[in-house]
Structure formats: structure tokens, C-alpha cells
Amino acid sequence: MAQRIDVKDLDVFYGDFRAVADVSMVIEPRSVTALIGPSGCGKSTFLRTLNRMHEVIPGAHVQGTVLVDGVNLYDREVDPVAVRRQIGMVFQRPNPFPTMSIAENVLAGVRLNNRRISRSDAADLVESSLRGANLWKEVKDRLHKPGSSLSGGQQQRLCIARAIAVKPQVLLMDEPASALDPISTLAIEELIAELKNEYTIVIVTHNMQQAARVSDRTAFFNVTEAGEPGRLVEMDDTRTIFSVPSQKATEDYISGRFG
């Protein structure tokens, strides 16, 4: 079940440094939200606060609230491990576990948590997850080969299969196609379009055409100068952002006048 995410007055810190300031936004369920903006504007940092991966970095912390189904993810009684099981993440560089086969990689979320799973359930989960990631046809005959034997684009889809195998409600994607060639990128974009029927998706991208192609809503982040925190400039329907943005900075950025 996909969930809506409500971010209110979020400040993100690395130690004393405020990297992102004052973000409030609503992320709609079963839709694709794209975060765009120049390097260093804090969009990846912001994305990582949505499943508490941010705090893995020493000294990193957050002020403000992120509400999912009425629960503030940063409440004291909320377990970050539980948050990450509900809100999965796909990273910029494909990172399959090198010691595991393709099938084991898909099952990693289950096996690493020592949850018992019958052989037939495991096989079903591997197949449904790989089908969900549009990878099944390519790998069904070599599920026991190492994950690292796949091409970069296939590895990234394997990582997506691994993320959806734990049945999250939200999928966060941090520039999932930036390390891939155009054909693999197309495969990932088609996959995103299918996944949004079941999941809430938030994607960070440097590629504005990609944001325009895959997303329903787009948020533009900007940073005025180095040392200043990044801020959310505006957020609107993707079509509106790319045709009649309300802010000058957004228009400059998407028309390529800076950034």
C-alpha cells in the first residue's frame, strides 16, 4: 500500500553545517516525484532523510517532521530499521552484494534479516521481484550466477528487484540511471512508470528530460552560494514546472541558463 509523505519545516544538518533548510512538501502516493536542482543543492541529502539513511553518516541529524500515515519518522519511538523496511532505496551506483548470486541478492532483505522463508516462497519472491524489475526474462536461466556478472543496467534493475522484494510502500531513487547508458536508462524509466502503480516513488535526477519524462510532480531545489543551505524553490505538476514555472530561478535552471 503506497503512502503519502508529508514533510514539514525540515532542516538537515551535517554536524553544525545546515545543508538543507526549511523544506515543506507533500509527496503524493502512487505517483513519481522528481527532485531536480544543481549539484550541492541538497536534493540527495533531502532524499536520504526520507528513510533515515541520512543519519548513517556520522554527525548528521535532522530537525522538523516527516509524516508517513500520521507517524513522524523522527519520533523517538520510531525505529530507523523499521522505517527502511517501509521506505526502500535505490542508489546511484548499482551495488549488488558481491558475495551473493542473483537470486540471493533478490532475497537479501529477507535472508539478512533471518526471516524464515520456504523454498517455494523464496522462488516465487525471486520471480515476482525480478518480473517487477523487468529483469526476469534476461536472468531466469542464470539465477545462481553472481550478481556482479550482469551489465551495469541489469545490476541496477537487480537492485530495484532487491528493494521491492521487501515490499516497501515507498521507493527512493538517488540518480538511479546516471551511471547507465541510454538504453539501460530507458529500461529503468519504463520500469519507474510501471512501479508507480504500486509504489510512491521519489527520484533524484540531474537529467531534466528524465524528470519531464517520468515524473508527475517536480520539486526544484537551489542553493544561492557555497556554504549556504539548499532550499526548495518550488514544487508543482511536472508539466507546469517545465512550461510555466512561477519562479525566475526555476525557469533559468530548466532553460539551461545556469547550473
Partner 1 sequence: MASTDTVTRTDAPQPTTHELLTRPDRRRHTVDRVMRVVVTLAFLVAMIPLVSLVWIVLSEGYHRLSPYFLAVSMRGVFGGMDAGGIYHAIVGTLLVTGAAAVISVPIGMMTAVYLVEYGRGALARAVTFFVDVMTGIPSIVAGLFAYALFAIFLGPGVRMGVAGAVALSVLMIPVVVRSTEEMLRLVPNELREASLALGVPKWRTIVKVVLRTSAAGIVTGVMLAVARVIGETAPLLITLGVVDSINYDLFDGRMMTLPVFIYRQYSQGLVPCRPDQLDCIATINFDRAWAAALVLVVIVLLLNLLARVVARRFAPAKGH
Q: Which residues bind partner 1 (CB under 8 A)?
A: 51, 53, 56, 58, 81-86, 88-89, 91, 93, 95-101, 108-109, 112-114, 146, 148-149, 159, 162-163, 166
User: What's the closest the beta carbon of residue 155 comes to partner 1, in angstroms?
Assistant: 10
Q: Which residue has the cell 551511471?
A: 179
Q: How far apart are CA 52 and CA 84, in angstroms?
A: 7
Cβ proximity to partner 1: between 84 and 217 the closer is 84
The torsion angles phi and psi of 166, rounded to 5 degrees, stand at -90, 5
Q: How far apart are CA 105 and CA 151, in angstroms?
A: 15
Cβ proximity to partner 1: between 55 and 234 the closer is 55
Cβ proximity to partner 1: between 149 and 246 the closer is 149
Specify the DSSP element, H or E, that contains 50.
none
User: What's the closest the beta carbon of residue 141 comes to partner 1, in angstroms?
Assistant: 15
CA angle 232, 237, 238 (to 5 degrees): 85
Q: Is 116 helix (H, G, I), strand (E, B) or coil?
A: coil
Cβ proximity to partner 1: between 8 and 111 the closer is 111
Cβ proximity to partner 1: between 86 and 210 the closer is 86
Cβ proximity to partner 1: between 53 and 219 the closer is 53
Specify the DSSP element, H or E, that contains 54.
none
User: What's the closest the beta carbon of residue 80 comes to partner 1, in angstroms?
Assistant: 8
User: What's the closest the beta carbon of residue 240 comes to partner 1, in angstroms?
Assistant: 32
Contact 8, 64 (CB under 8 A): yes
Contact 167, 158 (CB under 8 A): no
User: What's the closest the beta carbon of residue 33 comes to partner 1, in angstroms?
Assistant: 18
User: What's the closest the beta carbon of residue 99 comes to partner 1, in angstroms?
Assistant: 5
Cβ proximity to partner 1: between 47 and 233 the closer is 47
CA angle 43, 1, 210 (to 5 degrees): 35
- Among 163, 179, 167, 210, CA closest to 32: 210
User: What's the closest the beta carbon of residue 109 comes to partner 1, in angstroms?
Assistant: 4
Q: How far apart are CA 132 and CA 116, in angstroms?
A: 22
